[in-house]
Structure 1
Amino acid sequence: MICQWCESDTARETSNTVYWELPDGTKVIEIQDTPSIHCLECGITYQTDNTVKEIEDQLFLIDCSKLEKSIMYETLMAAPRLLKRNYFDFAK
């Protein structure tokens, strides 16, 4: 796997705890075990664009008022949605 930052071939899939601001800006939550990439060369740990989009879409589509301060990634992604998809994403 190639690192998006330094282009080294030492990047590996991992999971990490990340902190995310809710779409309404009211608070930040901790998301544990988030799929991530870690580069052994430059030391950066990051999420792919796809993972970022999945998290942002999910947070936009669920009732965030029911979220605790900390949540597992899989639990977040399994939370029931208020809408079927993000109708405000015009990139599709």
Structure 2
Amino acid sequence: MSSEGAVEKKCEWCDHQTTMIVNRSVFWELPEGTRAIEITDTPTIYCEKCLMEYQSEKMVKEIEDQLFLIDRTKLSSKIDYESFMSLPRLLKRNYFDFS
């Protein structure tokens, strides 16, 4: 699924008025700190002006919640974003998030 394209969102780093959504690989440490995984094709905010690439706070929370809620022992070292987010959850929500 390609979600690449321009969006009307200000860059959080340089305040440039237009950013793009591109798909990139991100690397995430598992909650227990035993290893990291690569999540490919992750929607990423990209700024042409400062060249910064980052995920929104909402997406970071979604990825971290998913890591808490799935059976991480069955997780390979590389997975695409759509497959990662569709993995079956052991719990309905992250009960360790008190925010």
- TM norm. shorter chain > 0.5: yes
1:39-78 deviation per Cα after TM superposition (whole angstroms, max 9, x unaligned): 0000010000000000000000101110111000010100
Which residue number in structure 2 is paired with residue 41 of structure 1?
49
Aligned length, in residue pairs:
91
Which residue number in structure 1 is paired with residue 23 of structure 2?
15
Larger relative contact order, structure 1 or 2 (CA cutoff 8 Å, min sep 6): 1
Stretches of structure 2 that go unaligned for 5 or more consecutive residues are 1-8
2:14 paired with 1:6: yes
**1-side partners of 2:11 and 2:61: how far apart?**
19
Which residue number in structure 1 is paired with residue 65 of structure 2?
57
Stretches of structure 1 that go unaligned for 5 or more consecutive residues are none
Structure 1 residue ranges, 4+ long, deviating more than 3 angstroms after superposition: none
Alignment RMSD, CA only? 0.7
Which residue number in structure 2 is paired with residue 90 of structure 1?
98
TM-score by length of 2: 0.89
